[in-house]
Structures are given as C-alpha cells and as structure tokens.
Amino acid sequence: MSRVVRIAPSVLSTDLGRLADQLAAAKAGGADWLHVDVMDGRFVPNLTFGAPLIKALRKLSDLPLDVHLMVVEPERYIAEYADLGCRVFTFHPEATVHVQRHLAAVRERGMAAGLALNPSTPVTVVEEVVADLDLLLIMSVNPGFGGQKYLPGSNDKLRRARGLLDRARSTATLEVDGGIAADTIQGAWRAGADTFVAGQAVFGQADPAAAIRTLRRACAEEA
C-alpha cells in the first residue's frame, strides 16, 4: 500500500525536564509531526499547556506542530497559534458552536483545519463541513490523559470515517489518537488511518527513536 504513514509523537508523554533530548530522539526516529495536546481542565478533566510551551517547541524542533485543542471555545486561540507557527489546528465540534466559521478561520490564517471527535460523537457530524476539512481526528480514547487503552470500536469508526471522506472525494488526513502502540497501530492503519498520534508508545519507551520505527514498520507489514 502506498498510503502515507505519519507518526506524530505526543509531547504530553515527554519528560519536560528532558524536553530537548526527547525532541531530538523523536526527530532521529523519523517523527513526521509533533502532537501538542492543549487541555483546559473544562472540556477535559486535565490541564496541560498552551502558548509558552508551543513557543519552546518551535525553538527546540523544526517538526511541524500538530496542535490538538481540548478546550471550550477553541476559536479564541486561532490567531495566536497561527502567529506561533502551528501547522495543524484541530479542535472539537463538541466544544464550540460555529464549526464551519472556525474551520474557515483556521485556513485563512494559513493552518490546516482539523476536527477531532470524541468516541461518543458520530462521524456524520463532519458531513456538512467536509469541504472545509484538512484533517479528521478520531479519538480512540476519551480525551484527557495519555496512556489509556485503545477503545475496541475505534477501527470500525475509522472505517466509517474513511468511507465518508472517500465518498466526498476529500483528501483530508485521517488521524487517530489514543492508545496507539505496536499492537494496535496495524488495525488502525488497515481501517484507513494515515496519521498516528503516540504518546506512551514513544516517549514512555527507553528508546523513543526505535519505538517510532517499530510503529511505522507495523503499518507496512501484512500480518
């Protein structure tokens, strides 16, 4: 299969005390993007980081920043994050009202526009805005924390998401986030995902660079 495989290690699972080293290891392992989980303690029951860390990441790494906003009213950050040099701006339709307007604003600011869906949100939510989408992120855990188990219904949901994008002739990226590891990535790849967020499976390992290579290899292998 010639479909692209993108690995996006999640900064949430780094040891911030060794951030520079961990980012260098991700780069050495061939990471494609850095995934940045912004949480506000309201949309999800956890509080992480925002602009100051994004600034530091920009300085420490030349990898594209794939920012995932788990915050209410994510539109408040579009202009600021564009100015900080983020490549992808993904938000949850469950967290705001005027989704189409915000997707257009993200593109206008020169970023790729992404929508992320909680496990309980049907994929059909994106039907009316598929032309405005550059990326669809299927959450394979309930968002809030790294290191959770891949929810079993996720591959079926990815297949339905892939079908929806294909029928609309959309070339949007199909990303999956949560519980991706050596034993779950192949199923997600077969279900149609092309971009894989991995936190614990990369930065929770002794050798993050080798861990990235292992994940990528699992997509190419036919079991």
As measured in angstroms, the least distance from the Cβ of 210 to ligand DX5 is 16
214 belongs to the binding site for ligand DX5 (CB under 6 A): no
Closer to ligand DX5 at the Cβ: 68 or 102? 68
Question: What are the phi and psi torsion angles at 69 (to 5°)?
Answer: -90, 115
As measured in angstroms, the least distance from the Cβ of 148 to Zn ion is 11
Query: Is residue 62 among the annotated active site residues?
Result: no
Q: What is the rounded distance in angstroms from the CA atom of residue 178 to the CA atom of residue 194?
A: 14
12 belongs to the binding site for ligand DX5 (CB under 6 A): yes
Query: Is residue 40 among the annotated active site residues?
Result: no
Closer to ligand DX5 at the Cβ: 30 or 110? 30
Identify the active-site residue in 32, 37, 66, 132. 37
Closer to ligand DX5 at the Cβ: 6 or 68? 68
Q: Is 62 exposed, middle or buried (0-12, 13-18, 19+ CB in 10 A)?
A: exposed
Q: Count other Cβ atoms within 10 Å, centred on residue 27.
A: 18
154 belongs to the binding site for ligand DX5 (CB under 6 A): no
For residue 165, what are its two tokens? 């994008």
DSSP 118: -
**Strand, helix or coil for residue 197:** strand
How many residues touch ligand DX5 under the rule CB under 6 A: the total is 22
218 belongs to the binding site for ligand DX5 (CB under 6 A): no
Identify the active-site residue in 32, 132, 134, 177. 177
Q: What is the rounded distance in angstroms from the CA atom of residue 123 to the CA atom of residue 191?
A: 14
Closer to Zn ion at the Cβ: 75 or 177? 177
Residues 165 and 174 sit within 8 Å (Cβ to Cβ): yes
Q: What is the rounded distance in angstroms from the CA atom of residue 223 to the CA atom of residue 188?
A: 13
The interface with ligand DX5 within residues 34-73 (CB under 6 A) comprises: 35, 37, 68
Among 103-111, 152-160, 174-182, 185-193, the segment contacting ligand DX5 (CB under 6 A)? 174-182
For residue 183, what are its two tokens? 């034993």
Binding residues (CB under 5 A) for Zn ion: these are 37, 68, 177
CA of 161: how far to CAs of 30, 46, 76, 131, in Å?
A: 27, 27, 27, 14
Q: What is the rounded distance in angstroms from the CA atom of residue 51 to the CA atom of residue 93?
A: 21
Closer to ligand DX5 at the Cβ: 168 or 213? 213
Binds ligand DX5 by CB under 6 A, chosen from 56, 82, 130, 148? 148
Interacting residue ranges for ligand DX5, rule: CB under 6 A: 10, 12-13, 35, 37, 68, 141, 143-148, 177-180, 197-201
Active site residues: 37, 177
